[in-house]
Amino acid sequence: MNPLAELRGECQTLLEAALEKSYPGTELPESKYSLPPNPEMGELSSPACFQLARVLRQSPMKIAEVLAENIPTDKSNLIKGAEAVSGYVNFHVDPELYNGLVLESIISLDKEYGFLKAEKPERVMVEHTSANPISPIHIGNARNSIIGDSLASLQEKRGHEVIIHFLVNDMGRQVAMTTYGWKLLGKPKPEGEAELWIGTIYASFNVINELNRLQTVLKEAEDNGRVYEASEAQEEIDEYNIAAEALRERYPGLYDKLAEVLATIEDPSAEMVALNTRYENNNSETVAEVRTTVRYCLDGFETSLGEIGIMFDSFDFESDLVWASAAEAVLEKLVASGYVINDMGAKILDCDKIAKDLGLKERWGLHPEHEIPRLVLVRSDGTTLYTLRDMAYTIDKFTHADRVINVIGMEQTLAQLQLRIALAAIGEMKMGDNQIHYAYEFVKLPGVKMSGRLGRYVTLNEVLRKAVELAREEVETRNPGLPEEEKDEISHMVGYGAVKYTLLSVDPMKQVTFDWKKALNFETNSAPFIQYSHARTCNILKRSEERPQPGYGELTAIKERELVNLLAQFPETFERAAEELQPSNLTAYANTLADKFNSFYATQSVLKAETKGLMGARLNVVNATRITLRNVLDILGIDAPERM
């Protein structure tokens, strides 16, 4: 499963033996092996001599020379020699044995290669997307979905039992507005893309409401000679009118019909509040109406995300927590903890005091001088805040999981920390320890300003359609002779892969600026580049008419050795990505592997190799690269086409 670890183990054993022979009684310090900058300098390098220099009172170079001379290579399966280089001990492998170990391991393990399993498998819940069910998935929250899906895949490949949840925020004004608008339209069935249709109802209702309000403001300002106020109101009216025209174009008739009906309602806002109150009180008729509207949008989410292979095990409704009085139960526990302050009728949690008393700053790696703001639990009017419901939901999640990963925007960093602190305050320290906020920044499309209230967004479906269209142009250029059906299939693989890779390859704490040229670049650092490299490996293997017995000892060229060394690194690259929750480590690895493979292929003849043994060995290098590229892409949720 891990050829590099096997090599490292042999190096460690040989180094310990050499140290005992050279400096009896000296203990080998714990130090990490590194990869030399060039394979000609060896496959692994130990810096132990720099630590031993303080104990032995000799220069690192002198110690390295003595140890290298005493390395018992005759007792090794993989090492043929060692040398001292600038104070390091560098180990050189036996190419026949080491290349064989790496390549045969990859080929025999196939789809399991690289996926090192955790020593103690856990139940892991990943909660992601959780977009408001009143507008479509757009390119911004699609980053959440794609990151969440890759994290779930990483954990599953690591051997954990993974469940994927979506919290449906079905309470509040926006959902009530959308449901009321749908009722006024006569409770129609969705047209076209359900999530976009629902988003259009929400945005239309909001725009109509705001235009009515602004017209009143404008008239009052004009009547009273408030020129500046009138000018501001007119500017807003103009903006809303532009939004109204766009909404009319999207679903002809919907906006005007809603405007016509709303004009007959004396106080639409009061009607929305009444609907929301009935829903909070679990009125059966209203529950059916709200859940129908929300379900239309969720069905749209499932269709859009399902198109790129993203699915959920459970949709959890916030309203269920409200009806179960789960938040009230949490509030009682918090009050009993002694950390809740009463301030003019409001109930406030003293988060910083909890953190100090329970040692949470040190425990969770927070700055000791950083003061954590207090958290309002209940307003002075007696209404509770969303955070209490989130605490109740978290407690419920831990009945299904040992560890919870919440993929939520970085703007929620404080709220997520306060949530963990509250859990610790009521004695649920283990939950606080095992709740992870996976924060991420937003996506920027140059020249586009999105607004759900105005119905302005670049939907995921729009982005996917454009990506497939651009990918189709590339496929036509590169392989015009393919059957039309195959061109379509490849275009979807490449287009979808380009979008996913772009959103995964940037560090989550950095904003993504979506660039079409970069996303669909076939030359470097993109999904199409990696997919094209995979297709190239498949093509080489298809063209090979024979598979001679490999002579692994003949793989001595720098490009070959670099590629084999990189292939051996995949298991530990995967392990780090899974433990550190960093899919971007895998996108970087895949890009480097594709680059190294193309360099190898450009300089080393495979099918016309000098000897049959070399041809067999190089074919296995190609096959091992194919398997590893496919396995990396699989974790990222990206298809690996065999032709492009």
Q: What is the pLDDT of residues 588-623, one digit of tens each?
A: 999 999 999 999 999 999 999 999 999 999 999 999
Residue type at position 478 = R
Going along the chain from its start, the domains and CATH numbers come out as: 3-93 (3.30.1360.70), 123-170+320-443 (3.40.50.620), 173-293 (no CATH), 469-635 (1.10.730.10)
Q: 21: pLDDT confidence band, cut at 50, 70 and 90?
A: very high
Q: What is the pLDDT of residues 36-74, one digit of tens each?
A: 988 999 999 999 999 999 999 999 999 999 999 999 999
φ, ψ dihedrals at 394, nearest 5°: -65, -45
Collapsing DSSP states into helix, strand and coil, what is residue 345?
A: coil
Whole-Å CA distances, 402 to 120, 160, 312, 433: 11, 10, 19, 10
Give the residue carrying structure tokens 């393990």: 109
| pLDDT in the model for residue 515 | 83
Q: What is the pLDDT of residues 411-442, one digit of tens each?
A: 999 999 999 999 999 999 999 999 999 999 98
Whole-Å CA distances, 327 to 324, 387, 398, 434: 8, 9, 16, 21
Instruction: Please tell me the chain's helix, strand, coil percentages from 3-state DSSP, rounded to the nearest 5.
Output: 60, 10, 30
Of 359, 361, 333, 334, the C-alpha closest to 348 is: 334
| pLDDT in the model for residue 441 | 92
Parallel, antiparallel or unpaired: strands 123-127 and 403-407: parallel
| pLDDT in the model for residue 439 | 96
Over range 531-560, report the average pLDDT: 96
Q: What is the pLDDT of residues 322-376, one digit of tens each?
A: 999 999 999 999 999 999 999 988 999 999 999 999 999 999 999 999 899 999 9
In percent, how much of the chain has pLDDT > 70? 100
Collapsing DSSP states into helix, strand and coil, what is residue 567?
A: helix
Distance CA 129, CA 6 (A): 40
Global pTM? Answer: 0.93
Burial class of residue 300 (count of CB atoms within 10 Å of its CB; 0-12, 13-18, 19+): buried
Q: What is the pLDDT of residues 93-109, one digit of tens each?
A: 999 999 999 999 999 99
